[in-house]
């Protein structure tokens, strides 16, 4: 009670100072409204604390009120309480204090997904698949992913003790681990994907991302016949704006505008130019993007496209054209607030959602087609605003079947990989390792008797048909045909393990390779079956096509594949 009262006292003091300041400097109507509503809030929480039938937590109520208020703006304007400041620092710096491991929820327990290579977790012998039974003597059963994650993080140099249950071991294993500063690299893998093509997988834009890209690129140039570079931004949700500018600067001359920002306040209106000597302004570039490429990824891809410096391949990007700053608040809290929109060199803003106007259902609407405008790249190619970066070469995303995603989502692939790694101390290099038919049959034996059922879109449609037909009293007339269709589909699903064998093998390979070679090996192994990567390599070797794209003379042909009735099924899912 004493702690809650102290928090309440400080809260009222904060409001009192705020009100005094506003009275002194805000004679206008908007300032008066702010002052009035802060006064109402301070009075309200005071009365609640004095008269509400049960004890209240003023700090918790205030935090909920703040979060509800910010929800009416955009999803990027967030309140960061002191307890979450370290998480935010990780987003910007790529560093945090902890044991260095990915985790996931599996039933009542949290399980180690993967210890980072070279981390305290990996050095102490923790393995993927280890189930956390206790943390510092406290039972972990029933604790959520977030709860366990918070406990595992902490100041570097401090220790914690984990009691783990490992597949193949009869008794639990106890591990005492000293936390360290964990640095997550922005580039999990780079290398040559053929004799003349380099590849860089960029997963973030935290501090030093540009330096990492520069170093990787120079290493690829050193000793190789490098004639083209592929930068993979698929799944990259962005990060620091200045890192995107500096990465573009590796391939673009000094003094080029990469992005500008425009906000309500004059000091938010800035133009961000390249300021360093470039490394290579001539090498052909292809940037891979998808629907999860956002923010700084879009600055980099969009500026390369607008300056006609390279070709963008993949799917339309996310469409986040908003800039956030972090403002310190009282008691070590922070506010991440949207302060501007960013514009890439052609002058277009790629923000997809209009957060200033709500739709009729209470949500926010996309920029309507009628308001989308055309812009020109440096070479005169037409590009558009209103929703992400549209690739120069559109490539369909990878799709996996229901059965493959079910086996993945129920952790059968993960658990089999854990068992396999326990029984096999080593495997061939990541780029060489493959799932043989014998190993695949071992997996089939492993999952026999396990529940990996799923419903297809067709089954769900048939169930909906049954419901409506029953209501309208037509079902008796079609009952026999309905049962026949359901049985046919059930029989077809039994063949899915063979029909989608290649997909399941690929996902299983990723799980097993990660046990031995971590994130680097996972990326390297995935490149062996990557249609978009192959398309990028082909384009880089076709000088005429590459030049035609940048000159605006290439039109991507639309595939003309006749669709037959028997070809329509429920196999792939996004």
CB-based contacts of 147: which residues, under 8 Å, 6+ apart? none
**Helix/strand/coil (H, E, C) string of 204-273?**
CECCCHHHHHHHHHHHHHCCCCCCEEEEECCCCCCECHHHHHHHHHCCCCCCCEEEEEEECCHHHCEEEE
Nearest alpha-carbon partner for 202 in 230, 164, 223: 230
Nearest alpha-carbon partner for 218 in 274, 283, 272, 276: 283
Binning pLDDT at 50, 70 and 90, where does residue 491 land? low
Residue 295 a catalytic site member: yes
Q: Cα–Cα distances in Å, from 161 out to 99, 110, 156?
A: 11, 15, 15
User: What are residue 229's DSSP bridge partners?
Assistant: 198, 285
Residue 320 a catalytic site member: yes
Binning pLDDT at 50, 70 and 90, where does residue 360 land? low
Cβ(229)–Cβ(210) below 8 Å: no
pLDDT at 359 over 90: no
| Confidence at residue 464, expressed as pLDDT on a 0 to 100 scale | 82
Lowest average pLDDT, out of 113-117, 446-450, 505-509, goes to 446-450
Q: Which residue has the higher pLDDT, 123 or 82?
A: 123
3-state secondary structure of 128: coil
- pTM of this prediction? 0.83
Q: What is the CA radius of gyration of the chain?
A: 28
Could you give the CA distance from residue 45 to residue 26 in angstroms, rounded to a whole number?
A: 24
Q: Which residue has the higher pLDDT, 10 or 387?
A: 387
Place of tokens 């923000």: 351
Could you give the CA distance from residue 437 to residue 108 in angstroms, rounded to a whole number?
A: 34
Give the mean model confidence (pLDDT) for residues 403-428: 95
Task: Specify burial of residue 124 (Cβ count, 10 A radius: 0-12, 13-18, 19+).
Answer: middle
Binning pLDDT at 50, 70 and 90, where does residue 277 land? very high
Could you give the CA distance from residue 479 to residue 212 in angstroms, rounded to a whole number?
A: 64
Nearest alpha-carbon partner for 296 in 262, 229, 344: 344
Annotated active-site residue in 320, 493, 509, 537: 320
| Confidence at residue 331, expressed as pLDDT on a 0 to 100 scale | 80
Give the mean model confidence (pLDDT) for residues 246-250: 98
Domains of the chain: 2-72 (no CATH), 95-183 (2.30.42.10), 189-394 (3.90.226.10), 401-529 (no CATH)
Nearest alpha-carbon partner for 186 in 256, 153, 233, 220: 233
Check residue 136 and give left, alpha or beta (phi > 0: left; psi -120 to 50: alpha). left
What one-character-per-residue DSSP string does 321-369 give?
-EEEEEEE-GGG-EEEEEEEEEE-TTS-----EEEEEE-TTSSEEEPPG
Give the mean model confidence (pLDDT) for residues 184-198: 96
Cβ(182)–Cβ(72) below 8 Å: no
Annotated active-site residue in 306, 385, 392, 530: 306
Could you give the CA distance from residue 508 to residue 378 in angstroms, rounded to a whole number?
A: 45
Question: Which percentage of the chain shows pLDDT scores above 70?
Answer: 89
Which structure tokens are listed for 3? Answer: 């702690």
DSSP state letter for 82: G
173-178 and 159-165: which strand pairing?
antiparallel
Could you give the CA distance from residue 344 to residue 250 in angstroms, rounded to a whole number?
A: 17
Cβ(99)–Cβ(177) below 8 Å: yes
| Confidence at residue 454, expressed as pLDDT on a 0 to 100 scale | 73
Nearest alpha-carbon partner for 344 in 309, 393, 389: 389
Average pLDDT of every residue of the chain? 87
Could you give the CA distance from residue 180 to residue 484 in angstroms, rounded to a whole number?
A: 61
Binning pLDDT at 50, 70 and 90, where does residue 358 land? low
Which structure tokens are listed for 73? Answer: 């703006």
Question: How many CA atoms are closer than 13 Å to the CA of 397, on its beta-carbon side?
Answer: 15
Check residue 466 and give left, alpha or beta (phi > 0: left; psi -120 to 50: alpha). alpha
pLDDT at 372 over 80: yes
DSSP state letter for 409: H
| Confidence at residue 365, expressed as pLDDT on a 0 to 100 scale | 67
3-state secondary structure of 135: strand
Neighbours of 543 (CB within 10 A): 12
DSSP state letter for 531: H
| Confidence at residue 347, expressed as pLDDT on a 0 to 100 scale | 95
Could you give the CA distance from residue 301 to residue 319 in angstroms, rounded to a whole number?
A: 12
Q: Which residue has the higher pLDDT, 225 or 456?
A: 225
Helix orientation angle between 437-447 and 412-423, rounded to the nearest 10 degrees: 120
Cβ(133)–Cβ(163) below 8 Å: yes
Q: Tens digits of per-residue pLDDT, 37-92?
A: 888 888 998 999 899 999 988 888 888 888 888 888 888 999 888 777 777 777 77
Total count of residues recorded for the chain: 574
pLDDT at 510 over 90: yes
Annotated active-site residue in 260, 295, 346, 401: 295
Neighbours of 62 (CB within 10 A): 18
| Confidence at residue 515, expressed as pLDDT on a 0 to 100 scale | 95
Binning pLDDT at 50, 70 and 90, where does residue 562 land? very low
Cβ(119)–Cβ(103) below 8 Å: no
């Amino acid at each position: 009670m004493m702690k809650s009262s102290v928090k309440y006292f400080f809260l009222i003091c904060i409001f009192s100072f705020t009100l005094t300041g506003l009275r002194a400097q805000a004679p206008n109507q908007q300032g008066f409204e702010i002052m009035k509503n802060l006064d109402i809030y301070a009075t309200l929480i005071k009365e609640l604390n004095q008269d509400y039938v049960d004890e209240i937590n003023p700090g918790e109520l205030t935090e909920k009120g703040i979060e509800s208020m910010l929800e009416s703006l955009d999803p990027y304007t967030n309140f960061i309480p002191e307890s979450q400041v370290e998480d935010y620092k990780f987003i910007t710096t790529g560093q945090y204090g902890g044991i260095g491991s990915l985790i996931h929820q599996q039933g009542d327990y949290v399980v180690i997904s993967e210890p980072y290579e070279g981390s305290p977790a990996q050095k102490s012998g923790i393995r993927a698949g280890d189930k956390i039974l206790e943390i510092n003597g406290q039972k972990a059963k029933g604790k959520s992913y977030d709860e366990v994650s918070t406990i595992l993080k902490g100041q570097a140099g401090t220790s914690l003790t984990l009691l783990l249950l490992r597949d193949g071991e009869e008794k639990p294993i106890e591990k005492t681990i000293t936390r360290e500063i964990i640095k997550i690299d922005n580039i999990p893998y780079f290398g040559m994907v053929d004799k003349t093509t380099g590849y860089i997988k960029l997963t973030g834009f935290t501090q030093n991302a540009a330096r990492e890209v520069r170093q990787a690129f120079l290493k690829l140039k050193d000793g190789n016949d490098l004639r083209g570079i592929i930068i993979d931004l698929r799944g990259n949700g962005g990060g620091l704006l200045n890192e995107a500018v500096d990465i573009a600067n590796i391939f673009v001359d000094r003094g080029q505008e990469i992005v500008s920002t425009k906000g309500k306040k004059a000091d938010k209106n800035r133009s961000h130019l390249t300021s360093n000597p470039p490394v290579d302004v001539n090498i052909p570039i292809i940037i891979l993007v998808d629907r999860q490429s956002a923010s700084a990824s879009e600055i980099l891809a969009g500026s390369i496209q607008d300056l006609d410096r390279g070709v963008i391949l993949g799917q339309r990007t996310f469409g986040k054209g908003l800039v956030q700053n972090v403002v310190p608040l009282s008691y070590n809290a922070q506010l991440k607030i949207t302060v501007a929109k960013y514009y890439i060199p052609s002058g277009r803003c790629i923000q997809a959602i209009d957060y200033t106007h709500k739709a009729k259902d209470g949500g926010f609407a996309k920029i309507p087609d009628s308001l989308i405008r055309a812009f020109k790249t440096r070479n005169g190619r037409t590009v558009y605003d209103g929703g992400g970066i549209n690739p120069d070469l559109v490539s369909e995303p990878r799709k996996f079947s229901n059965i493959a995603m079910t086996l993945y989502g129920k952790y059968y692939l993960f658990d089999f990989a854990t068992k396999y790694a326990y029984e096999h101390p080593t495997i061939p290099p990541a780029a060489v390792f493959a799932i043989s038919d014998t190993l695949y049959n071992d997996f089939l034996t492993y999952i026999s008797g396990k529940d990996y059922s799923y419903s297809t879109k067709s089954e769900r449609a048939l169930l909906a048909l049954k419901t409506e037909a029953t209501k309208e009293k037509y079902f008796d007339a079609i009952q026999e045909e309905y049962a026949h269709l359901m049985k046919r589909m059930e029989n077809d699903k039994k063949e899915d393990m063979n029909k989608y064998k290649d997909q399941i093998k690929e996902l299983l390979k990723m799980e097993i390779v990660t046990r031995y070679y971590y994130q680097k090996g996972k990326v390297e192994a995935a490149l062996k079956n990557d249609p978009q990567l192959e398309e990028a390599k082909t384009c880089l070797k076709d000088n005429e096509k590459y030049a035609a794209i940048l000159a605006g003379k290439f039109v991507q042909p639309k595939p003309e594949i006749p669709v037959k009735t028997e070809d329509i099924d429920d196999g792939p899912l996004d």
